[in-house]
Amino acid sequence: MRNRLTPYLFVSPAMLLLITFGIFPILVAAVISTTNMNISAFADWNNVEFIGIDNYTKLFADPDFWQAIGNTGLFAVFGVPAIVILSLGVALLLNHSQSRFFRSLRAFYFIPAITAIVAISLVWGYLYNTQFGLLNYLFSLVGVPQVQWLSDPILAKFSVALVAVWRGTGLNIIIFLAALQGVPKEYLEAASLDGAGEWKKTFSIVIPLMRFAIFFVSVTTTIAWLQFFDEPFVLTDGGPLGATTSASIFLYKEGFRLNQFGYASAGSIVLFAIIAVITLIQLRVRRADDDY
Amino acid sequence: MKRTATSVVAAVAAVGLTISMSACSTTSAAGSGDAEGPLTVWVMGDSGANFEMLVADSGIEVEVVAIPWDSIDEKLTTAVASGSGPDILQIGLSKLRTFADAGALLPLDDEIANHPGIDPANFPAGVSGTATSVGGEIVSVPWTSDTRVLFTRTDILSEAGIDAPPATWDELRADAKTLAARGDDQYGYYIPQWDAPLPIEMTWSMGGEVIDADGNVNFDTPEFQKAVDVYTGLYADGSVPVNGDFDQTQGFISGVAPMLVSGPYLGRGIADSAPELDGKWQASPLPAGDGGSISLFAGSNLGVWFNTDQKETSLDLLEYVSQPEQQLEWYSMTGELPTVSSALEDGDLNSDPNVQVYTDQLKTAKVLPLVSNWDGAVGTELLNALNAIVLTGADTKSSLDGLYSTTAGLTIN
Amino acid sequence: MTTDRTHAKRRRALTVTIGIALGIGALITAFPFLWMLTTAFKPQRESVTFPPTILPQAPTLEWFQMLFTELDFGRYLVNTILVVLIGFIGLMFMAMAGYAFAKFDFRGRKWMFFLVLATMMIPIQVTMIPTYLILNGMKLTNTLLGIALPTLVSGFAIFLFRQFMTTIPTEMLEAARLDGAGEFRTFWQIVLPMSKPILAVQIVLTFISGWNSFLWPLIIASDQKLYTLSVGLALLNQQLAVNPSLQMAAASVMVIPILIVFIVFQRYVIQGFALSGLK
């Protein structure tokens, strides 16, 4: 009876926009990645030549690209667990009591998530500043010598990641808090009657029931780290000496600073492929987990 | 309750739609290529309001768009990609080549006869005519000039027994060491880790070039080696702070780094934010080497967008702002120095001894080689190589060899 | 009896301990924000002195005045609000799409939903230039609509809508249809009201992304009259001559409204995620 067109009518505005501004551009990028296109193309399109997979071979031989991929991997390996565990922990604690005090604390933890990156860069750049920044001052009060937050190649990785963790927890805490509402009270009461302590209840009842939320947060957080861009871009511009250059920053610099559009597009296709593969692996692992 | 939530969303969405529609229709009318409308001018940083004031009496209507410094690349690249840009844009000298290559700038050679105000002869040779033409064509008109000179805190220097600012790089290195010995967290000199032109200025002052006779980038010269020795030596002496976020203005005012090479904007910054230091600091010529004191001619030029539909009006505006009066007024508003020779020689302007130093320095100053993507390609590689040596203790020879090979093949041709 | 009492006591002690720990954590988390607020009221000289002062010694409102008088922050604020409003249209589109994915069986549903998920994995740097060229081709550069369009719909949000709307009982929809309600009326009068929690989530997320939008306003606007707050804030980031006080004042103007929106909506937001089957 139903008009068969109905679902298409509902879906099409959003799908049109997604295809126009999401799918189509990546196809364009795929085409560009097989050319030597740079900024001179805009003066005369005859300057563009098809060069096959040359960009890709050059990319895989580029030490800067590997450094960027390595940095991104490092950020993801430490960043994903940090954000997931921290958000989960805070959410569990916030859920401990439904009192007014506990609920009013939520807003504080959400502040970082809602702050614009431009504002974040200003505030943190100012906190980290080695001359008039507050962090070094506080450290100096307890006798710690000057810390080169953003200038030391190793520490800078930590510093930009710290800001990203700070910013990344807010939304995930909310998601976990929501998931915690879905844990049936009866289960917990039954466990209490059996004499289970808080610790045991959390680990053997609550966390297993939140499996899907944890999985969901892990997947979105992984994607976010693999696309890591904002914090190093505004705080260090990928420096010092490339120490905080993530894959996205590398692509951005090739594309917009050096105007090597063909080369940058090849890099972005590779990054897209990496993200897709990792996400698919995560989905597979979860499915296997469910079967079990 | 449920009902209200949805109807609020619906109402809000409807309002949003109407407003965006109307906003879109009004703006498209304005931008529809009516050759009578105001000129769109892209100005860097937040001096847009100043520019509007500057041209208020020109009889030419302008609409100024301020572009954040950090976002110039995205803005220009996308504009070039679509071909729809402003009528006039401010363009940093280091980006000039890139955007001329992209065909974004209108060649001006044939226009100069009818617009004598923008004749290259009106400007210092270091920044006009062939010095900044690309592919044999003049694509821009000098707008503001900027150079690098030495700033010193004379009070701190004399306390340390140094009577006059160092005149050579060797003296500078020795004085910096003396000053750094004042105590912990005290330094003698400051090298901005992002300042790619500094090693080039040093090389020029040592009597060298970074472009060889064939027009290729070449760092493998004894003069560059001397520059590297000074650069790395300052770090080796412990005379320079290693933190990358060191704020030069604040460091100079607090006296932590009482000497540095910077531009007129630093002088202005100090005068504005620490008037009590008046008389306790001075600008002096860039330290010299065997080749004299050769500094950077920086600053920015103005270009006309290649497909503007208001070419004549745009050129009229360029002529207007190239008049000495306008250039001097811009200086008084923003502290950016003029480029027109007659304005640079203005007596009032040069009555300030610091300005005298700047204008003298400009006489021999040179622009960076017009290599495509100088900043992104050469500048970044140069800084990476030098900073790797001074910050991470990388081997000097292998870092420099890396620099030679990555910059090989880059050319101004 | 006694064990019960010690148990209750112990639980109370635990709650207090957790409360204190969370309170400290909240202060640390919110600290950069508080620091931003206090700096906004400091004179420029005070904000760059060392050691830093925690509270302004000579509080001043001059930076806030400057933002709205000398700088064009009033206009940026209006633009930002308009971008947020346009974002709510995208919200309706995403709700509609989520509904179709959740409650209809149609040809192409699977691969379309796959495309939705795939867009979540695309880094924005990749699509920037093609997207710009598309907008330019549509003659939408230098319009507020063009600014809002590239981020109007997101795969993440469509996914959340779908997750939530699968929990709406199909019988209710059938009943409405039997009563003769058209498809769109069913959506409007049954589906949307039942989706209030997820709508609350999306309102907040849409508000946040619209409010903070930076990249597209910057690129699409060839007219400063269309800049948003984020772009205005970036304009204050001079190469030299730092004035942290002014920057922090501008940052405060950006953050405080959004914080209020969140505090108002937070109860619904958490409910919304809770009911969308994320457990």
pLDDT at B6: 39
Residues B258 and B403 both lie in one domain: yes
> B269 and C139: CB-CB below 8 Å?
no
**Do B241 and B389 reside in the same domain of the chain?**
yes
Q: Decide if pLDDT at C201 tops 90.
A: no
Looking at the 3D structure of chain B, how many domains does it have? 2
- Which chain A residues touch C129 with a CB distance below 8 Å? 255, 261
The predicted-structure confidence for B104-129, as pLDDT tens digits, reads as follows 899 999 999 999 999 999 999 888 88
Q: How far is B384 from chain A (nearest CA, A)?
A: 6
pLDDT-derived band at C5 (thresholds 50, 70, 90) equals confident
Q: Is residue B198 part of a domain?
A: yes
Kindly tell me if the per-residue pLDDT of B27 is higher than 90. no
User: Are B155 and B143 within one domain?
Assistant: no
In this predicted model, what pLDDT tens digit does every residue of B382-396 receive, in sequence order? 998 999 999 888 899
Residue-number span of the structural domain to which B58 is assigned: 34-147+297-362
- Answer whether C143 sits within 8 Å of B23, measured CB to CB: yes
Query: What is the model's pLDDT at position A182?
Result: 75
Residues B73, B252: Cα–Cα separation, whole Å: 30
Give the pLDDT mean for C210-228.
Answer: 82
Q: Which of A148, A239, A242 sits opposite B243 (nearest CB)?
A: A148
Is residue C218 predicted with pLDDT exceeding 90? no
Q: Which two tokens stand for residue A164?
A: 């990203």
When CB atoms are compared, the residue of B40, B46, B81 closest to C235 is B46
How many CB pairs lie under 8 A apart between chains A and B?
Answer: 86
Q: Does B137 touch chain A (CB under 8 A)?
A: no
Q: Provide the shortest C-alpha distance from residue C201 to chain B (in Å).
A: 12
Share the mean pLDDT of chain A: 86
What residues contact A261, with CB distance under 8 A and at least 6 apart? Answer: A32, A37, A38, A39, A41, A255, C129
B2-11, B328-337, C98-107, C164-173: least confidently modelled range:
B2-11
Residue B206 in this model has a pLDDT that exceeds 90: yes
Domain-embedded: residue B10: no
Please report the pLDDT score of residue A221 as a whole number.
Answer: 93
Segment 31-90 of chain B within 8 Å of chain C by CB: 31, 40, 45-46, 48-49, 63-66, 68-71, 74-75, 77-79, 81-82, 84-86
Chain A residues with beta carbon closer than 8 angstroms to that of C131: 21, 25
Tens-digit pLDDT profile for residues A212-221: 889 888 988 9
Is pLDDT of A245 > 80? yes
Closest by Cβ to A10, choosing from C99, C208, C263: C99
Q: Judge whether C176 is closer than 8 Å to chain A, CB to CB.
A: no
Is any Cβ of chain B less than 8 angstroms from the Cβ of A6? Answer: no
Q: Which amino acid is at B158?
A: S
| Sequence-separated (6 or more) residues with CB below 8 Å from residue A24 | C130, C134
Question: B208 and B333 share a domain?
Answer: no
The pLDDT value recorded for residue B31 is 37
Closest CA to A122 of B326, B75, C245: C245
Q: Is residue B9 part of a domain?
A: no
Contact check, Cβ <8 Å, C236/B15 = no
pLDDT given at position A71:
96
Are B358 and B389 in the same domain? no
Q: What is the mean pLDDT of residues B340-356?
A: 91
Whether B354 and B380 map to the same domain: the answer is no
Task: Name all chains with 3 or more CB-CB pairs below 8 Å to chain C.
Answer: A, B
B185 within domain boundaries? yes
- Report the mean per-residue pLDDT for chain B: 86
Which of residues C128 and B329 earns the better pLDDT score?
Answer: B329
Provide the pLDDT for residue C138: 85
Mutate which of B17, B26, B27 to test chain C, going by most C C-beta atoms within 10 A?
B27
C261: pLDDT strictly greater than 70: yes
Chain C residues closer than 8 Å to A93 by CB: 18, 21-22
**CB contact A125 to B (< 8 Å):** yes
Cα of B280 to nearest chain A Cα, Å:
22
Which pLDDT score is estimated for B33?
A: 40
Contact B245 A42 (CB under 8 A): no
Chain B neighbors of A148, CB-CB under 8 A:
242-244
CB contact under 8 A, B245 and A151: yes
Domain membership flag for residue B15: no
Q: Are residues B218 and B317 in the same domain?
A: no
Q: What is the mean pLDDT of residues C215-221?
A: 81
> Of B77, B101, B246, which has the smallest distance from its Cβ to A256's Cβ?
B77
- Per-residue confidence (pLDDT) for residue C134, from 0 to 100: 82
The pLDDT-based confidence of B29 (bands split at 50, 70, 90) is: very low
* Co-location of B320 and B285 in the same domain: no
Return d(Cα A28, Cα B157) in angstroms, integer: 60
Q: Is C277 an interface residue toward A (CB < 8 Å)?
A: yes
Residue B120 sits in a domain whose CATH number is 3.40.190.10
User: Which of A71, A74, A160, A72 has the alpha carbon at shortest distance from A121?
Assistant: A160
Tell me the pLDDT band of A180, cut-offs 50, 70 and 90: confident
* Range scoring the smallest mean pLDDT among A230-234, C32-36, C196-200: C196-200
pLDDT band at B87 (very low <50, low <70, confident <90, very high): very high
Query: Are B266 and C240 within 8 A, CB to CB?
Result: yes
The string of pLDDT tens digits covering residues C178-192 is 888 888 888 988 888
- Which of the residue ranges A61-70, C36-45, C195-204 would you say has the lowest mean pLDDT? C195-204
Mean pLDDT in residue range C203-230? 82
Looking at the structure, tell me whether residues B64 and B167 fall in a common domain. Answer: no
pLDDT for the residue numbered B23: 38
CB contact B411 to A (< 8 Å): no
Residue B46 lies in a domain: yes
Q: In the prediction, which pLDDT does A137 show?
A: 85
**pTM tops 0.95:** no
How many C-beta atoms lie closer than 10 Å to residue B249's C-beta? 21
Query: Which residues of chain C are within 8 Å of residue B17 when distances are taken between CB atoms?
Result: 86, 89
Contacts for C181 with CB less than 8 Å, ≥ 6 apart: C189, C190
Residues of A in contact with C21 (CB under 8 A): 93
Whole-angstrom distance, CA of residue C131 vs CA of residue C269: 31
**B281 lies in the same domain as B205:** yes
Does residue B70 sit in the same domain as residue B83?
yes
The answer to whether residue B210 is domain-embedded is yes
Give the span between the Cα atoms of B266 and B249, in whole angstroms: 7
Q: Chain A contacts of C251, Cβ < 8 Å?
A: 115-116, 118-119, 122-123
B149-152 and B141-147 beta bridge pairing: unpaired
- Does some domain include residue B387? yes
**Alpha-carbon dihedral angle through residues B66, B69, B71, B76, given to the nearest 10 degrees:** 70
Same domain, B273 and B375: yes
Is the bond leading into A240 cis (omega within 30 degrees of zero)?
yes
